[in-house]
Amino acid sequence: MMIRAKYTKKGDLVYLSHLDLVRLFERAFRRAGVPLAFTQGFNPHPMISFAAPLSVGISSEAEYFDVMLSEPLSTVEFISSMNNTLPSDIQILQALQLDEKPVNALMQEAALMVYSVTFSLEQPFQNNKLAESLDFFLNQSEMIVQKKGKDGSGKGKKGFGKRKKMKQVDILPYIHSFVIKHQEDDAAELLLHIKVFDQATIKPLLIFNKWVEVSDVPVALNTVFIERKEICKLDEDQQYISIIQ
């Protein structure tokens, strides 16, 4: 039996790396007495797959994993036994029983990431400055940023020899939308929808920082707070819906 679960990653636990998080969940499953299914072979491990790893330092209200159980378990029981043993900053919000193993891994289903970015200003806004600046940003023909590539030296290299190459990427094709959600005199919340192509995407901070760089909005950089709000997939009508729908 397969369960898809939505969970939070907040507070101090935003500083956990993806691998730390995976380990934390594997141990929580065992503490909670959730009957995990294991892979066969010499080194059995639980069958869990996570959606798009979150950057260290970014908070989230919508993280996902799929997990295979060896015995049936109600989603209600799954949620309560897990939440009992998980830290308060990581809690399961929703669980869905999948009828069968999904055709695509969770990572491949993800098509759109929704982020909220809040920040304060060093001095108050003038009129429509914020909206204009976002418009200007999105209407450029390209917006190039330096992005860390995957493994620059190809496969097979390990340890300290592995160096990530920087590459240049145009971020605009990745931006689905970048709009104002809420605005005060000296603070704002923006909503940033970022597309995922073939499991490749752009980190929200990279986009936000580029906007700050080219706009003249006086963002107080030490107040920036980014939170993932949702991960979406494409339904049959090519509409974005939550990955747990």
Task: Give the binding site for other proteins (CB under 8 A).
Answer: 12-13, 15-17, 19-20, 23-24, 26-32, 38, 42-44, 46, 56-57, 85, 87, 222
Please state the closest distance from residue 159 (CB atom) to other proteins, in A. Answer: 14
Nearer to other proteins, 70 or 104 (CB): 70
Cα torsion through 78, 82, 84, 86, rounded to 10: -160
Please state the closest distance from residue 132 (CB atom) to other proteins, in A. Answer: 29
- 147: β partners: 167
Residue bearing tokens 């104002």: 180
DSSP H/E element including 20:
helix 18-32
Contact 218, 133 (CB under 8 A): no
Nearer to other proteins, 71 or 236 (CB): 71
Side-chain half-sphere exposure of 222, counting CA atoms within 13 A: 1
Please state the closest distance from residue 161 (CB atom) to other proteins, in A. Answer: 16
Phi, psi of 157 (to 5 degrees): -85, 140
Nearer to other proteins, 38 or 136 (CB): 38
Please state the closest distance from residue 118 (CB atom) to other proteins, in A. Answer: 15
Q: Is 78 exposed, middle or buried (0-12, 13-18, 19+ CB in 10 A)?
A: buried
Nearer to other proteins, 17 or 104 (CB): 17
Please state the closest distance from residue 48 (CB atom) to other proteins, in A. Answer: 13
Nearer to other proteins, 27 or 101 (CB): 27
Q: Are strands 112-120 and 144-148 parallel, antiparallel or unpaired?
A: unpaired
Please state the closest distance from residue 55 (CB atom) to other proteins, in A. Answer: 12
Q: Measured between alpha carbons, how far is 118 from 224 in angstroms, rounded to an integer?
A: 6
DSSP H/E element including 84:
helix 75-85
Three-class SS state of 194: strand
Nearer to other proteins, 109 or 227 (CB): 227
